[in-house]
A and B are shown apart, each in its own frame.
Chain A
Amino acid sequence: MGAYLLRRAVQAIPVLIGISLAAFLLIHLVPGDPARILLGAQATPKAVATLHEQLGLDRPLPTQYLNFITGAVHFEFGESLSQKVGVGKLIGTRAEVTLLLLMMATLLSITIAVPLAVAAALRRNRPVDHSIRLFSMFTFAMPSFLLGLLLILFFSLKLKWLPTSGYGSGFGGHLRALILPALTVGLYLAPILLRTLRIGIIDTLGTEYIEAARARGLARRLIIFKHVLKNSVIPTVTVLGLNIGFLLSGLVVIENVFSLPGLGSELVTAIGNRDYPTIQALTLVFGVSVVAINLLTDLLYSYLDPRVRL
């Protein structure tokens, strides 16, 4: 397993270099002088020069890139241009929100998808299966901002169970504040998992080793929840990994609907303010996270399926 993961990690290195290059070059790909765009047409040449120096734009490109990488390794990306605080620190506090949201959403989606997938697969092509398919199609097809607003309408405004927006205070408050956004994301993710898992279970149920397990006289519950589930979870893990990576950038909408101070809403703010250091840092963070999620998926995959531990 070690060798396999090492190989995957090594394969990730060129990807990481690519991401860092893209993030770095971002500022140079914008047409015109970023400092001038930032400061406006009436800026004095002196102010422009100062900003150039602050952003390091006056140095040769390779040096700039090297500095960028060195900084990134220490999670330092210079000063935010719109908020007088270090970008690293800014992103750090916001990453916590997004990470927590993502984890809760994943957990919720698994909690929703697994029992439904088992129920649907065991009663395939019967009313239970059809209703589950209808439900998942519904939550999947609904735009997430709409789903989020509906949840707010019902749980926050009507029942007054949960806050409408914001991040709350204290860990308990954070968790409470994240329930609805996580549910919104989870309800989007669940149908994807459900579908893969349902197919996985149906396929696994037809295998000889499940028949052999039956012939060995194992209880139905043990067969389903041990033998069938572990095998059908394997393809689902890949799908989950891919989608979490994809979701990361999709969180922008959700964080805005619920006014959460996460990475997504920060990205929107930073773009609006042309806060290049923050944009660069966020690009890097998103890219690296996707790579990390993929590695994590591989780790989980090889843990679940001994055949890939080569």
Chain B
Amino acid sequence: MNGTASELLAVRDLTIGFPAPGGLLLAADGIDFDVAVGRTVGLVGESGCGKSVTLRSLLGLVPYPGEVLAGTIHWRGEEMLTASGKRQATLRGTEISMIFQDPTSCLNPVFTVGNQMVETLRKRAGLGRREARTRAMELLDRVGLSAPEKRLAAYPHELSGGMRQRVMIAISIATRPRLLLADEPTTALDVTTQEQILALLKELQAEDGMAILLVSHDLGVISETCDEVVVMYAGRMLEAGYDREVMRSPRHPYTRGLIEAMPSLEVTDEEPPVPIGGQPPDLTALPPGCPFQPRCKFVRDQCAEIPVALDATLAEHGSACPFEGVRS
């Protein structure tokens, strides 16, 4: 997939560490994935597996004291990790933009929505004050908010969660980015609003042809929205492939566990959801070999020795489990 014309983002061997009491904690360890023009790629995994940190690293915003220890991030063929801070900053909010999990906390509470939108449009799209206002209203209208004038004058706390997320989306699409990073954009919202926001994202994507990198711990949201899926566990990639294939024939026991834990939308006679047993991993004390061993139903002796790497036998659908969850 490397170097094709339709490729936007290519991440290779991305490794991000945080200093921890017992040494180094790897929040991302050898992550590889691509995002092509107009595609939707999902990063899925339980809380704390490194999804957000991975996503933020793409904007050069790994939270202090974390840092990228190894790997490459190519944006349209250009290496970003070694690029200057200034170059990275020019991408933020123009070619790549981001929306966050909690729309309540990602708008500055002491400035109006209009102030923050206009400021962004002036800086990033180079508009004058008046043009920026007009454009802001168009954008609010575009994301389905009624009475845009009134919304511009509102402070964030005066809007509902769903409205705030729409405002965030309006800001993030302002410069017609090529890639939208969405970190759990619907987790804080109720189910109906969640559906609406996902539909809005799909719609905007269809219009502008932007790619989306969607992070969620909810495999349901991911499989509903994404073309490709990357399954993360304890900072590692355990499985990756086309959404349909991964969902239909998961090859890693962890992915299977996630699918079994999904509540089905329709009431059926199928088995009820089964949560994955055991505790989420402690990143400071991972076992040697496969990090999922302690919770794996199919664990065997060799699991402590195999390196965690996706097999390359199936180019489109790789798994880090050589046993494919078959009992020995």
Contact = CB atoms under 8 A, between A and B. Distances in A.
Interface residues of A, number: 23
Given A216-B124, A217-B92, A211 B61 contact: yes
A217 B106 contact: no
A296 to B, nearest CB: 19
B94 interface: yes
Contacts of A227: 108, 111
A130 interface: no
B92 A209 contact: no
A218 interface: yes
Interface stretch (A97-105, A146-154, A299-307): A299-307
Interface in B103-133: 105-111, 119-120, 123-124
Given A217-B94, A307-B155, A222 B119 contact: yes
B110 A234 contact: yes
A222 B97 CA distance: 18
Interface string A226-262: 1100110010000000000000000000000000000
Given A216-B120, A218-B120, A209 B93 contact: no
B12 interface: no
Contacts of B120: 216-218
Given A217-B90, A222-B119, A222-B123, A212 B157 contact: no
Contacts of A212: 98, 100, 106-107, 168
Q: Which applies to chain A's interface (DSSP): helix, strand, loop or mixed?
A: helix
Contact of B110 (A208, A210, A215, A230): A230
B274 interface: no
Contacts of B59: 214-215
Nearest to A216: B93
A209 B105 CA distance: 6
Given A212-B100, A218-B123, A231 B109 contact: yes
A226 B124 CA distance: 17
B102 interface: yes
Contacts of A234: 110
B143 interface: no
Interface string B152-189: 00010100000000001001100000000100000000
B304 interface: no
B20 interface: no
Contacts of A230: 110-111
A137 interface: no
Query: Which 10 residue pairs of A and B lie closest in terms of their CB atoms, listed nearest first?
Result: A217-B93, A217-B92, A212-B106, A215-B98, A208-B105, A216-B93, A306-B155, A209-B108, A208-B106, A216-B120
Interface of B: 56, 59, 61, 63, 89-94, 97-98, 100, 102, 105-111, 119-120, 123-124, 155, 157, 168, 171-172, 181
20 contacts: A209-B106, A211-B61, A212-B98, A212-B100, A212-B168, A215-B61, A215-B97, A215-B181, A216-B93, A216-B97, A217-B89, A217-B92, A218-B93, A218-B119, A222-B123, A226-B111, A230-B110, A230-B111, A231-B110, A305-B109
